[in-house]
Amino acid sequence: MQTAFLKKAGIFMLMLNFIFATFPGASYAGLVGTQQILSSQTRSQQLTEIQTVLARDDIRAQMLDLGVDPADVEQRIHSLTDAELARLSSGIQDLPAGGSLLAVIGVVFVVLLILELVGVINIFSKV
């Protein structure tokens, strides 16, 4: 008796499955603009660029020294808006790799001047 009931319930479920499988699903189609496609491609390029910079060993070491978890940084990067991501990406591109050459020359000159005034070296008296 129990097997007959299970057999009838199984057949009933199969019939319902076939009936509901023939109903068309709801689909919402619309036009996708060129600007939307370009912005999604630009976003993925910016994310890739920022992740490449953040994956460097010296950057990760600096983050860990400051007490920042790299996983948290990754999560925050993904939650940025398009405008914030573009600003961060352009900021990374505009930063000089080793600093400004003029600033380095200025610092070296100031250090040499201080050492000359203190009497440690004698460079400027020869000039």
pLDDT tens-digit map of 17-76: 888 887 777 777 778 788 877 777 888 888 888 888 888 888 788 878 877 788 888 888
| pLDDT for position 94 | 67
Contact 50, 77 (CB under 8 A): yes
- How many Cα atoms occupy the beta-carbon half-sphere of 55 within 13 Å? 6
Distance (Å, whole) CA 26 – CA 23: 9
In whole numbers, what is the pLDDT of the chain averaged over residues?
A: 78
pLDDT class for 98, splitting at 50, 70, 90?
low
Contact 53, 59 (CB under 8 A): yes
Q: What is the pTM of this model?
A: 0.46
Short-list 43, 79, 77, 44, CA closest to 59: 77
Tell me what the mean pLDDT of segment 99-114 comes to. 73
pLDDT class for 101, splitting at 50, 70, 90?
low
